[in-house]
Amino acid sequence: MPSRIETKIRQSFASQSLMETLRASLVRIEEGQTEIQAPILPGSRQQHGFAHAGLTFAIGDSAAGYAALTTMPDDHEVLTAEMKINLLAPGRGDLLVARGKVIKTGRRLVIVQSDIYACEDGHETHVALMTGTMVPVART
Amino acid sequence: MPSRIETKIRQSFASQSLMETLRASLVRIEEGQTEIQAPILPGSRQQHGFAHAGLTFAIGDSAAGYAALTTMPDDHEVLTAEMKINLLAPGRGDLLVARGKVIKTGRRLVIVQSDIYACEDGHETHVALMTGTMVPVART
Amino acid sequence: MPSRIETKIRQSFASQSLMETLRASLVRIEEGQTEIQAPILPGSRQQHGFAHAGLTFAIGDSAAGYAALTTMPDDHEVLTAEMKINLLAPGRGDLLVARGKVIKTGRRLVIVQSDIYACEDGHETHVALMTGTMVPVART
Amino acid sequence: MPSRIETKIRQSFASQSLMETLRASLVRIEEGQTEIQAPILPGSRQQHGFAHAGLTFAIGDSAAGYAALTTMPDDHEVLTAEMKINLLAPGRGDLLVARGKVIKTGRRLVIVQSDIYACEDGHETHVALMTGTMVPVART
């Protein structure tokens, strides 16, 4: 993967202010896959003190979108068309890790998947499975 | 709808710290439907300055969940099992409004829908459609 | 809606051999919405004798696709990119009716919904809610 | 996996009349996974002569459901609560193969996935990805 793609992705991620609000980090970018981590902050929780599904979704969606972007030409971006999340377990612990990957890339659509894990005491629990569709658009 | 159900829902909402981080408000609770609003804060955006899909999802999921909760016995809560979001338009403007409603309630599952609108200069644009499944659980 | 669009849709429906196998009929075509009916044949059932979800999906998907097609230029077709079905109740009775409609049409994507009902003794029960994404493609 | 579970699954499959109509076969049952095949019959097609998404969905849903059933007690069945299908490529060829697996099993819900492949001249193409939720119910 050319380093200018990585640069484009890092710039895009840095300009997503919600990622900053949630203290999320883009920790890995490879051809067809990325990883985003976010701490389960005191301000990112649901009513039982676990990670809010909004946090899980936000980093899972971004991880999948940037995975799609690694397969696109330089002058393209991607937009999320749809995304389904199945929640598997409570997001218990200190940190969520979202691993996004491309299932099938194409000119019109990119099908993506994200798996999100909660980390507690060094142990990972699979907390969500997401599948979705990204739409490539030429940057204007 | 008994007022104790409304009280239970308002307490639950108040204890979701992500809703406070996003400055979301629960502005309406009726039998089978609720409305949650959130400003599109400087810190809630994606790379083009529009509402992040994570914000859209977070309030849409909560609106749907609390709509489900209005149909449950007092000692029950609901958990999101799955939720799909279709994004229809960019979340442009000052405010997002999520209207959640129950499609079908039941003892094992509650099927829900949320429609999310962006408000700009007093005009509403439909930005997302969500459908999902909530699971009732007895509070312990 | 121009009658040539209706003709195009009727020809397309007639060439879907699975619709013939399932004895489905396209009973209504209007701008942005269509209705498809199918009997719950002895050969279209699941293990309890109710309509198989494959039947429900097949007619719901087609109804949604043709609803999308009513909003397209003459030389375009649509393909299903994704579709989620939430099953609400068993498909009990003699007949399924799928009503498809367009939520939002566009050049790149069309967001659609189908509601499927089972008819028994003249009474309709809402058995499934489907939401999906259709992709317009120019006919070659 | 006890052989009585396999027997229960084979009996259930045999009583799904749509599977017979579509000439589908349950070709593999293992703990947490199953495989169903169906020929792309002249009567199972969409308007371009490829496998109809209704066929793809029907065998993908059944494969996922029976995968879930391998993880259940003897006296339980499963019902599909929801299922999303992402279509990746046209179902071109002679045969569809659906491989269902369990992502997470539980007392209230089982999260499942199916991958469906089209076989043409001995080559498999990944044509659909499905994820869904099954609900265990005690047989009455």
Residues of chain D with pLDDT under 50: none
- Which of C15, C46, C47 lies nearest to residue D47, judging by beta carbons? C15
Asked if D81 reaches chain B (Cβ–Cβ under 8 Å), the answer is yes
DSSP D40: -
pLDDT tens profile D34-74: 999 999 999 999 999 999 999 999 999 999 999 999 999 99
Per DSSP (E only), the strands in B6-139 are 25-30, 33-39, 76-87, 95-104, 110-120, 123-138
Integer-rounded Cα radius of gyration of chain D? 14
The whole-angstrom distance between B125's CA and the closest CA on chain D is 26
DSSP D44: S
Mean pLDDT (chain C, rounded): 96
Q: Give the whole-angstrom CA distance, residue C136 versus residue A34.
A: 30
Chain A residue whose CA is closest to D108: A88
Locate tokens 């499944």: which residue? B133
pLDDT of residue D114: 98
Cβ neighbors of B9 (< 8 A, separation 6 or more) are B26, B29, B34, B66, B69, B70
Asked if B1 reaches chain A (Cβ–Cβ under 8 Å), the answer is no
- Which of D13, D44, D59 lies nearest to residue C21, judging by beta carbons? D44
User: How would you label D58-77 residue by residue, b for 16+ Cβ within 10 Å and e otherwise?
Assistant: bbbbbbbbbbbbbbbeeeeb
Handedness of CA D132, D133, D138, D140 (dihedral sign): negative
Q: Give the whole-angstrom CA distance, residue A60 versus residue B85.
A: 13
CA atoms within 13 A on the CB side of D11: 9
As a three-state string, the secondary structure of C22-42 is CCCEEEEEECCEEEEEEECCC
* Helix, coil or strand: residue C43: coil
This model of the complex carries an ipTM of 0.97
Tell me the backbone φ, ψ of residue A97, rounded to 5 degrees: -125, 125
- Which of C21, C53, C57 lies nearest to residue D21, judging by beta carbons? C21
Asked if B133 reaches chain D (Cβ–Cβ under 8 Å), the answer is yes
Mutate to test the interface with B, among C80, C82, C86 (most CBs of B within 10 A): C86
Asked if B133 reaches chain C (Cβ–Cβ under 8 Å), the answer is yes
Asked if B140 reaches chain A (Cβ–Cβ under 8 Å), the answer is no
pLDDT tens profile A33-90: 999 999 999 999 999 999 999 999 999 999 999 999 999 999 999 999 999 999 999 9
Paired residues of C37 in beta bridges:
C25, C97
pLDDT tens profile A87-136: 999 999 999 999 999 999 999 999 999 999 999 998 999 999 999 999 99
Q: CA A34: distance to chain centroid?
A: 7
Residue D72: both structure tokens together? 């259940």
Span C38-55, mean pLDDT?
A: 97
Nearest-10 Cα torsion for D127, C133, C52, D64: 50
Locate tokens 């400055």: which residue? B23
Handedness of CA B59, B62, B68, B70 (dihedral sign): negative
pLDDT of residue B38: 98
Span C12-37, mean pLDDT?
A: 98
* Number of CB atoms found within 10 A of residue D99's CB: 19
Cβ neighbors of B92 (< 8 A, separation 6 or more) are B50, B51, B118, B120, B125
**Short-list B104, B99, B108, B106, CA closest to B130:** B99
Cβ neighbors of A30 (< 8 A, separation 6 or more) are A1, A70
Chain C residue whose CA is closest to B113: C129
What domains are defined for chain C? 3-138 (3.10.129.10)
Q: Give the whole-angstrom CA distance, residue C18 versus residue C43.
A: 13
Q: Please indicate whether residue C140 or residue B22 has the higher confidence score (pLDDT).
A: B22
Q: Give the whole-angstrom CA distance, residue A118 versus residue A114.
A: 13
Question: Dmax over Cα atoms in chain A, in whole Å?
Answer: 46
Mutate to test the interface with D, among B85, B103, B107, B109 (most CBs of D within 10 A): B109
Residue numbers in D near A88 (CB within 8 A): 103-104, 111
The whole-angstrom distance between D8's CA and the closest CA on chain A is 27
User: By the 8 A CB rule, do B93 and B40 touch?
Assistant: yes
Q: Give the whole-angstrom CA distance, residue A67 versus residue D130.
A: 20
Residues of chain B with pLDDT under 70: none
Q: CA B26: distance to chain centroid?
A: 9
Residue B100: both structure tokens together? 């959640």
Asked if B85 reaches chain A (Cβ–Cβ under 8 Å), the answer is yes
Residue D132: both structure tokens together? 């869904």
Q: Give the whole-angstrom CA distance, residue B36 versus residue B66.
A: 10
The whole-angstrom distance between C42's CA and the closest CA on chain D is 7
Residue numbers in B near C84 (CB within 8 A): 84, 131
Q: Please indicate whether residue A79 or residue A2 has the higher confidence score (pLDDT).
A: A79
pLDDT of residue C140: 73
Given an 8 Å threshold on Cβ–Cβ distance, is D131 in contact with A131? yes
pLDDT of residue A1: 76
Residue numbers in C near A108 (CB within 8 A): 108, 135
Asked if C28 reaches chain D (Cβ–Cβ under 8 Å), the answer is no
